[in-house]
């Protein structure tokens, strides 16, 4: 009988409810809604940060596109100028060779 009472006491003592009850004397447990509130707050913050990142990336992409377009325009102008210079040099060389 004594062993049965001891076994039942150990079984009850290791259950989650009993463990929570015993631990509540030593550790202040937050209310059950606290983790839910924390997760919701974290989800809202993650969503806000993701939106801010998307907007920042879009602004940077526009700036990169503008810079790339400007670089292409400058390189095209430089290439055209170099082409014209080469034609002028060839014409000069041909006129001197004649």
Note whether residue 96 is domain-resident. no
Does residue 29 register a pLDDT over 80?
no
Note whether residue 50 is domain-resident. no
Give a three-class secondary structure readout of the chain. CHHHHHHHHHHHHCCHHHHHHHHCCCCCCCCCHHHHHHHHHHHHHHHHHHHHHHHHHHHHHHHHHHHHHHHHHHHHHHHHHHHHHHHHHHHHHHHHHC
Note whether residue 57 is domain-resident. no
pLDDT of residue 83: 96
Using a cut of 0.95, tell me whether the model's pTM lies above it: no
pLDDT of residue 26: 84
User: Using one digit for the tens of pLDDT, what is the confidence trace for 51-79?
Assistant: 999 999 999 999 999 999 999 999 999 99
Does residue 18 register a pLDDT over 80?
no
Length of the chain: 98
Task: Count up the domains in the chain and report the number.
Answer: 1
Note whether residue 13 is domain-resident. yes
Note whether residue 2 is domain-resident. yes
Note whether residue 71 is domain-resident. no
Does residue 41 register a pLDDT over 90?
yes
**Whole-number Å distance between alpha carbons of 56 and 50:** 10
Note whether residue 3 is domain-resident. yes
Does residue 98 register a pLDDT over 80?
no
Structural domain for 8, as ranges: 1-30
Mean pLDDT of the chain: 89
User: Using one digit for the tens of pLDDT, what is the confidence trace for 77-89?
Assistant: 999 999 999 999 9
Note whether residue 66 is domain-resident. no
Phi, psi of 30, rounded to the nearest 5 degrees: -70, 160
């Amino acid at each position: 009988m004594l062993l049965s009472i001891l076994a039942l006491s150990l079984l009850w003592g290791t259950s989650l409810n009993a463990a929570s009850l015993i631990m509540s004397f030593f550790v202040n447990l937050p209310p059950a809604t606290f983790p839910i509130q924390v997760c919701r707050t974290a989800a809202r913050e993650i969503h806000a940060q993701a939106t801010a990142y998307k907007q920042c990336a879009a602004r940077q992409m526009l700036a990169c596109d503008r810079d790339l377009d400007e670089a292409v325009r400058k390189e095209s102008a430089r290439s055209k100028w170099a082409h014209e210079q080469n034609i002028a040099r060839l014409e000069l060389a041909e006129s001197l060779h004649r």
